[in-house]
Amino acid sequence: MAKDPSNEIVLSYYDSLLRANDVALLQGPHWLNDVIIGFYFEYLNETLNKNEKKELYFISPELTQLLKMTDSSQYNIFLDPLNVSEYKCILFPLNNCDRKDAAGGSHWSLLIFCKQDKTCYHFDSSKGYNDNIAAKFAKNIMNCVLYKDESNKFVDIDCPQQDNGYDCGVYVLCLADVITKHVLKTGRIDGCNYSQIKKLVHAKRTELLNLINDLKCTGVGITMSANALALNTYFKKKKITVGLSWTYTGMGPIVMAQDSHKNYENIYQNKLLENFSENKQGGGTLNFVKGKFGSQYLYYDDEEDGASNIDIIDPGTLMMS
């Protein structure tokens, strides 16, 4: 069977994987998907957080969606391993998808939690579109991080507005750029100048294409993490086969499901080895299934019949080995 060229891997960058059909979204007037936004947020995390001064943390679209569809009492399971409480600002790319069992959504906006201000700031390039979703999610985030401090608040910021139906994701990235520079310079969000956003949006797709090409040439981000190496050893010991040359590269969130093709949302866990340890006799296979937002998920089947217990792993923690 001939390979689909649109599915070819263009870049593996730390925990992000870009395929040709993802990159093609940057070559025309297209709506950006979670993969492109997740890649750029991964890039910002890697380039801005190299020193010990923790200012900003960029949450992936996949984890943001997972949190949005999860009870807030479970947020610490996902956020504590990231040490987000140590950062001044946490950035979340919000999508209006409200389905647990299928891909969807038509609009992106940006939510930023600022610990110093005890405030969540919402930036929407199509004002009013994501307001209700953002306000509810902001309340949950602040209740988790601030432990229900009564002084927390939600502010909807007036920001430049898109004049088409496909640039919302680009606005999220450009707003993140401008706000990041301002926070690094001043330590706060207040007073940020958004006058150049539209100009930045016009150039952002080309900028991202050049960035992807540069990263391909330099080979940055393609080494396996310590967790991945440790887990490979564990796989071999337990006689677990890794399908299609993929490797799990972190200890991030896992979704337990009774049926890998129908239900992604039953029980959340955050320690992969505990789940694998349930397979006392060894064996099993890692394979592909399709997940929310059209991303690839890996699952581990530790049952002979291949149906009763599936671990679906957050795609934000995957890379090619």
Is residue 34 among the annotated active site residues? Answer: no
Over residues 305-312, the mean pLDDT reads 37
Catalytic residue from among 120, 159, 168, 192: 168
Catalytic residue from among 22, 34, 89, 107: 107
Residues in the chain: 321
Over residues 119-135, the mean pLDDT reads 95
- Residue 179 confidence (pLDDT) above 70: yes
Beta strands, E only, the chain: 9-13, 16-19, 56-58, 89-95, 108-114, 119-123, 153-157, 241-242, 246-248, 254-257, 267-269, 285-290, 296-301, 310-313, 318-320
- In this structure, the strands spanning 267-269 and 254-257 are antiparallel
Q: pTM of this prediction?
A: 0.69
Predicted confidence at residue 149, as pLDDT, reads: 66
Summarised one tens digit per residue, pLDDT across range 67-116 is 998 888 889 888 888 888 889 999 999 999 877 665 668 899 999 999 99
Is residue 107 among the annotated active site residues? Answer: yes
CA distance 118 to 110: 17
Catalytic residue from among 15, 117, 124, 314: 124
Q: For the chain, what are the domain ranges?
A: 9-217
Q: 29-43, 187-201, 223-237: lowest mean pLDDT where?
A: 223-237
Predicted confidence at residue 221, as pLDDT, reads: 58
Q: Which of 111, 126, 133 is nearest to 164 (CA)?
A: 126
Q: Does domain 9-217 have CATH number 3.20.20.70?
A: no
Contact in structure between 67 and 255 (CB atoms under 8 Å): no
